[in-house]
Amino acid sequence: MMGLLACAMALMASLVSAREPEVKTVDVDADIVIAQDGSVREIDVGKDVAPGVAALVEKAVKQWRFEPVVRNGKPVMAKTGLTMDLAATKVGAGYSLRIQRVVFVSSRAKPLKYVVPGMPRTAMGSGMNFDVLAAMRVDPQGNVVEAALLSLQVRGGRREPKHLREDFAVEVERALKHSKFRPADVAAGERGDDTFYLPLDYRNALGRGASLTIAERFGDATPVPWLTPDQQPKLIELPESKGGMPVAMADSDVRLATKVVGATL
């Protein structure tokens, strides 16, 4: 009897599973220009997005409305990056696309040339793991003009090697100043002076460990040296970690007036 019951339950589970639609997640990156009245003036979808999906995204985004972006007390044209997560549900021979998540961040965070800071000699062979958070300031031409170590969390080992933080700080500044980012499109309202954040994991052969989230790295971070107190990053604006790639905080002055999450393209 128990064997028959188990078989029946397995059959029911397979039937339910067979009826469930196949769902995939599609990530879309784009640049948009917001006009002074909050309408979408331009959209440029990333080249790695399938043409059919790109066409649907362009059509939908052009109908969105934003609250006017106000800077220095006046509505301005503004250019920002758009990251969108789409749920693609199998329907017949194609898919239905539904918006799951939308975030607006500077698209300049994707480097043209990326020099990754190495592990200092004082940290090599220590058997410790190191979770780092760095920041870099990028000028309108895409040059890294300042870089700083904000947080270094040491896991494993009994005592932190001497001068370790200073050595990491030197390596972070040296390497990142050789990186290069896309120039700012200032004429379209893109910020010329940007600050990007970089989570880095350093693992010794003798040590292993899961990576800390960006929020966890900010737990004991020092202030960004070139930002005023009111410009310091807020945890509510934190993006998801991109696995060792630079990330930007969310554009807090870019706000949708149209409800788009949950909408179908």
For position 61, which CATH number holds? 3.30.2420
Residues 223, 136 within the same domain: yes
> Is a pLDDT exceeding 50 seen at residue 10?
no
Residues 60, 45 within the same domain: yes
Task: Compute the distance between CA of residue 30 and CA of residue 89 in angstroms, rounded to an integer.
Answer: 22
Residues 96, 127 within the same domain: no
Q: Is residue 12 part of a domain?
A: no
Amino acid at 132: V
Residues 60, 186 within the same domain: no
Q: Is residue 3 part of a domain?
A: no
- Give the number of C-alpha atoms closer than 13 A to the C-alpha of residue 195, restricted to the C-beta side: 19
Residues 55, 124 within the same domain: no
Residues 147, 165 within the same domain: yes
Q: Which of 19-23, 124-128, 160-164 has the lowest mean pLDDT?
A: 19-23
Q: Is residue 67 part of a domain?
A: yes
Q: Is residue 34 part of a domain?
A: yes
Pair of tokens at residue 239: 């993006």
How would residue 15 be classed by pLDDT, with cut points 50, 70 and 90?
A: very low
Question: Is 0.85 surpassed by the pTM of this model?
Answer: no
Instruction: Specify the number of domains making up the chain.
Output: 2
Q: Which of 54, 86, 107 is the last residue of a domain?
A: 107
Q: Is residue 97 part of a domain?
A: yes
233 close to 218: Cβ distance less than 8 angstroms: yes
What is the pLDDT, as a whole number, of residue 124?
82
| Three-state DSSP class for residue 80 | strand
99 close to 260: Cβ distance less than 8 angstroms: yes
> Is a pLDDT exceeding 60 seen at residue 48?
yes
Residues 142, 89 within the same domain: no
Burial class (CB in 10 A: 0-12, 13-18, 19+), 105: buried
pLDDT tens digits, 139-190: 999 999 999 999 998 877 666 667 888 999 999 999 999 999 999 999 988 8
